[in-house]
Amino acid sequence: MSQQPKESDQNTSNYLAESTLRIQDLHEAEKKLVLLVETAGDGLAILCDDAPQDQDTEQVVRDSVIAFRELAGRYFSLVNDIQLSLRSNTRYLSQQGSIGMATTKSIPFRESISGEQKELEVWTAALETIHQRVRELKEITQ
């Protein structure tokens, strides 16, 4: 009989440890979300930045393209990390019965292509913005 309370205590401890890990994971995802917004702002600042008149325009464009590519890579890496964390925690909560199945059906998991479609739209828009900015810079130099 004394075995049953110990098992119950062990299950409670495991549940609390798992809950603590999940909360820490969500806290890290929140930090990454802040970095994501900052990274997006930095990328927009690069696209909107006007080149100083005393600098070589071609070099400024090259530097801007390199900086934008680095920021875009960081941005999409952060998006992937955040999505993975949210999906993992959502899956855990649905397995534990904390959220109902109706809720999880509306959450796009990896089988869905909606994320890829959105990413394609974002990259297409970013590429068009870059092309437009390069055209503007070429017109300035001519």
Share of the chain above pLDDT 90, in %: 25
**Cα(65)–Cα(84) distance, rounded to whole angstroms?**
28
Q: Is the confidence at residue 1, as pLDDT, over 90?
A: no
The reported pTM is: 0.58
How large is the greatest C-alpha to C-alpha distance in the chain, in angstroms?
89
Q: What is the pLDDT of residues 69-89, one digit of tens each?
A: 999 999 999 999 999 998 888
CA distances (Å), 10 to each of 21, 64, 93, 96, in order?
16, 56, 20, 17
What is the C-alpha R_g of the chain?
Answer: 23
- The pLDDT tens digits of the residues spanning 22-61 come to 889 999 999 999 999 999 999 988 888 766 666 777 888 8
Nearest-angstrom CA–CA distance, 70 and 78:
12
